[in-house]
Amino acid sequence: MTHEFERYYGTVFTSLFEEVPEVRIKRLSTSDSAYILNESLGLYIKHATARVSPWSFSFRDSDFEVINSMPENLKDIAFALACGFHGVCVISKLDFESAGGQFMGEPLRVTVRTVKGGSWTVSGTEGELKRTRSKTKPWERFLNYL
């Protein structure tokens, strides 16, 4: 039986393979949501099942336990936010902290919206990112790690 999250994670991995055909993926043993890509980039996946924009993602204690258990030698952590089956918005750890904030025990929220022209806007508890994120090449900012 396929779990619901696996369908959305398939969207994440398909978008990754389209931009990086040869990538080594290692699952972090403690979670179905955390992976290491090419031994240098952490990947944390969240999904939202809404059929239309906006998509909202909550990060709680259990999420941060997994995120904080990632190896310290990683160059960055990519947060892949599967927005239904519309696509994947990929943001860096710095983007996540700029929009969502620093985890201080209270849940954080990140919201993704579609905008005309093929991009995403990202906002959260701390505010909105100044630049949009690509819908067509979500991994482009991370290619030097892959």
91-125 tens-digit pLDDT: 999 999 999 988 878 889 999 999 987 899 999 98
Cα-Cα-Cα-Cα torsion 115, 108, 98, 11, nearest 10 degrees, comes to -50
CATH topology classification for 4-145: Trna Endonuclease; Chain: A, domain 1 (3.40.1350)
Give the CA distances from residue 25 to residues 22, 33, 39, 61, 63, in Å, rounded to whole numbers and listed in that order.
Answer: 10, 12, 8, 25, 20
The predicted pLDDT at position 96 comes to 95
In this prediction, residue 3 has a pLDDT band, given cuts at 50, 70 and 90, of: low
- Each domain of the chain, given as residue ranges in start order, spans 4-145
- Reduced to 3 states (helix: H, G, I; strand: E, B; else coil), residue 18 is helix
- Tell me what percent of the chain is helix, strand and coil, each rounded to the nearest 5: 25, 35, 40
Residues with Cβ within 8 Å of residue 28, at least 6 apart in sequence? 34, 35, 36, 66, 69, 70
User: In the chain, what percentage of residues exceed pLDDT 70?
Assistant: 98
The predicted pLDDT at position 142 comes to 94
What is the pLDDT averaged over residues 47-76? 93
Token code pair at residue 33: 């949501």
Query: pTM of this prediction?
Result: 0.93
